[in-house]
Structure 1
Amino acid sequence: MDAQTLVDTRGDLWLALAPLWLEREPRETDYARMVKVIERHALSKHELEWVFRLELAPVLSRHQMSVAGEWRRFDDRKLMRQLVAHNLRLTGWRRKTWALFSGLTTMMARQRWNELMERLMIARGEDVPS
């Protein structure tokens, strides 16, 4: 897959989900936008989990761990370049390594992700586990 295809197929989804890693809690409008964009992509919860773990977390978790990281707002162009570069290299052993360490890279955003998945289930009319 080339860079333009990645941007065309995933770009809006990546940018919609990026606020999960910001310093501030996502607002209602952020969550609503995330659900709306997810629905346009028609991905299953399982597919979304792997987008979260492999496509986003390795790049966005670095911002959280960096002393000079971008915590208040991301530069969309810079972030998109980083995400595309990461995903173009995400094959073979790199994919397996990120899958192995995905628990660590998703840890800081997991609670927000779970909140988003609950909202998505409600929007899809699915039963939310208690």
Structure 2
Amino acid sequence: MDAQSLVDERGELWLALAPLWLDREPSERDFAHMVEVIQRHDLSLHELEWIFRLELAPVLARNQMSIAGKWRDFDDYRLMQQLVSHNLRLKGWRRKTWALFSGLTTMMTRHRWNELMARVMMERGESPHS
């Protein structure tokens, strides 16, 4: 897949989910927007989990840890460049390595992700215990 295809396929979703890594809790409006965008993409919860763990967390967690990180907001263009670059290289051993370490890269935002997935399930009329 080339960079433009990645942006076309995932860009909107990536940018919608990026606030999970900001230094503030997402607002009701943030969560509502994330759910709306997720619904447009018609992805399973399993697919969303792997997007969170492999496509987003390695890039956003690294920025979150940096001292110079700007965590009130994002530069969408720069963020998209970083995400595309990471995801174009996400093959073979890199993919396996990020999968292995995804618990660490998602640790800081897992509670927000769980809240979002509960909202997505509610929107879809799914039970969290099904």
TM category, shorter: over 0.9
1:45-124 to 2 correspondences below 5 Å = 45-124=45-124
1:85-109 Cα shifts (integer Å, max 9, x gaps): 0000000000000000000000000
Give TM-score scaled by structure 2 length.
Answer: 0.98
Structure 1 ranges of 4+ moved more than 3 A: none
Partner SS for 1:105: helix
Which runs of no fewer than 5 residues in structure 2 stay unpaired? none
Quick one: distance in 1 between partners of 2:64 and 2:79?
Answer: 13
1:25-64 to 2 correspondences below 5 Å = 25-64=25-64
Q: Which amino acid aligns with 1:63?
A: N
1:58-116 Cα shifts (integer Å, max 9, x gaps): 00001110001121101000000000000000000000000000000000000000000
Offset of 1:128 from its aligned partner? 2.9
Calculate percent identity across the aligned residue pairs. Answer: 75
Offset of 1:125 from its aligned partner? 0.4
Quick one: distance in 2 between partners of 1:98 and 1:62?
Answer: 12
Which runs of no fewer than 5 residues in structure 1 stay unpaired? none
Quick one: distance in 2 between partners of 1:69 and 1:113?
Answer: 21
Quick one: distance in 2 between partners of 1:102 and 1:62?
Answer: 12
Number of aligned residues: 129
Give TM-score scaled by structure 1 length.
Answer: 0.98
Q: Which amino acid aligns with 1:33?
A: H
Partner SS for 1:67: coil
Q: Which amino acid aligns with 1:24?
A: R
Q: What is aligned with 2:15?
A: 15
What is the alpha-carbon root mean square deviation over aligned residues? Answer: 0.6
